[in-house]
Amino acid sequence: MRSIAGLMPFLFPVFLAIMRIYQFESAESNPMKTITESVKISRDELAEMAGRMFGGLVKAVVDIEKEIMIVDAELHADEEAALIASGSKQDDLWGINFYPEENGEDFIEFDSMINVRPRQNNRSRGVENVQLQQKIREVVAKLVV
């Protein structure tokens, strides 16, 4: 009887093929949306997206330098990867959640695993720097109508 280790060279390519199919289907069924100064998003659109997510939220990653963001993915990491692939710098990217049914300070939650960056003095999932939070809010105010 063969051991699992002996089957790995055969099973690994099958595993990768299955993962590619899954990723393709996930991307097709829930495409991320890039939000820019010329392509804004409404609270109604965010509310529609939130209806598809557990917890009534929409995940977003904001590029504070380019003043753009990507919304509507299951993981902040997927949004971050898409922005990096389009030329953004990781140091400029911050993960947030929108709660479209909320107003004021409760509309934006600064909480994402991509925010854990000890080299940038951010040691938690939140955004610890108040000035950085304000910059994110300013970008969001420009992009959400």
| pLDDT level of residue 53 (50, 70, 90 thresholds) | confident
**Is the model's pLDDT at 15 over the cut of 70?**
no
Answer with the residue of higher pLDDT: 11 or 141: 141
pTM: 0.80
The token pair at 2 is 């063969």
Instruction: Work out the mean pLDDT of the chain and round it to a whole number.
Output: 88
| pLDDT tens per residue across span 79-96 | 999 999 999 999 999 999
Tokens 């909480």: give the residue. Answer: 111
How many percent of the chain have pLDDT more than 70? 79
Q: For residue 54, what pLDDT is reported?
A: 81
**Is the model's pLDDT at 11 over the cut of 90?**
no
Q: For residue 29, what pLDDT is reported?
A: 56
**Is the model's pLDDT at 25 over the cut of 50?**
no
Identity of the residue numbered 54: F
Give the residue-averaged pLDDT of 65-77: 97
**Is the model's pLDDT at 48 over the cut of 70?**
yes
What phi and psi, each to the nearest 5 degrees, are found at residue 9? Answer: -60, -25
**Is the model's pLDDT at 6 over the cut of 70?**
no
Tokens 């960056």: give the residue. Answer: 117
Q: For residue 77, what pLDDT is reported?
A: 97
Is there a contact between 145 and 40 (Cβ–Cβ < 8 Å)? yes
Is there a contact between 110 and 96 (Cβ–Cβ < 8 Å)? yes
